Chains A and B, each alone.
Chain A
Amino acid sequence: AQSVSQHNHHVILSEAASLELGCNYSYGGTVNLFWYVQYPGQHLQLLLKYFSGDPLVKGIKGFEAEFIKSKFSFNLRKPSVQWSDTAEYFCAVKDTGRRALTFGSGTRLQVQP
């Protein structure tokens, strides 16, 4: 069965610092990849997604992620974080032939002003 690992459980950064959150998945077949964000008290919302093509995908609010197939990774990056980026970030993977997504345990990002 597919599993998703997010290595950082809690990250604390100052504003303007660069961000990279790790995500690795286990299944080696064709996958679709997602990053979701959950702001305090709000619902999970899509940050960005990868289906095919250019492995560097850009999402909302200046976030981007790079799919490295050989490493089974889909790391999330942002060059300069803002206080408003404080949230929990979830990596998710969809295997072909399955409707549901498999999620990682999440990374809580705290940005200090």
Chain B
Amino acid sequence: ETGVTQTPRHLVMGMTNKKSLKCEQHLGHNAMYWYKQSAKKPLELMFVYNFKEQTENNSVPSRFSPECPNSSHLFLHLHTLQPEDSALYLCASSQPSGTSGGPGELFFGEGSRLTVL
């Protein structure tokens, strides 16, 4: 149990489908993140939310649309994806600097494995 729960764990979708990934953190954190993990590549930061406000968008294509309704929930809406978007999508959360867990330490979920056909 990581304190960060991601659903679904596996998702297969066609290029014309619309689906969403969900992340929920039970740690009382106020920052949430989406990362993309592809084989043999560094984890790629996609989005950062701090107190529900988006603070970073790492030039992510608009076919990925994040939503953060509150500090505990984060969504990634997927639309018209490409096969190269197939990857493991990781959600993480963190506390501000100086609080428990230390400045910047991220707590990760187990990820959603996405396959785009």
- Contacts from A to B (Cβ < 8 Å): 4, 9, 32, 34, 36, 42-46, 49, 51, 90, 92, 94, 98-106
Contact = CB atoms under 8 A, between A and B. Distances in A.
B105 A46 contact: yes
B94 A99 contact: yes
B102 A99 contact: no
Closest 6 CB pairs of A and B: A94-B104, A103-B43, A44-B108, A43-B110, A105-B42, A103-B42
A43 to B, nearest CB: 4
B56 A100 contact: yes
A36 B2 CA distance: 14
Contact of A42 (B92, B105, B110): B110
B48 A100 contact: yes
Contacts of B55: 99
12 contacts: A32-B103, A43-B2, A44-B90, A44-B108, A45-B108, A49-B102, A94-B103, A99-B55, A100-B45, A100-B48, A101-B106, A102-B42
Nearest to A43: B110
B31 interface: yes
Interface string B96-116: 000000111110111100000
Interface in B41-89: 41-43, 45, 48, 50, 55-56
Contacts of B42: 4, 102-106
A34 B103 CA distance: 11
A45 B3 CA distance: 12
A43 B106 CA distance: 12
A106 B56 CA distance: 23
Nearest to A108: B40
A99 B105 contact: no
A13 B115 CA distance: 33
A52 to B, nearest CB: 10
B89 to A, nearest CB: 13
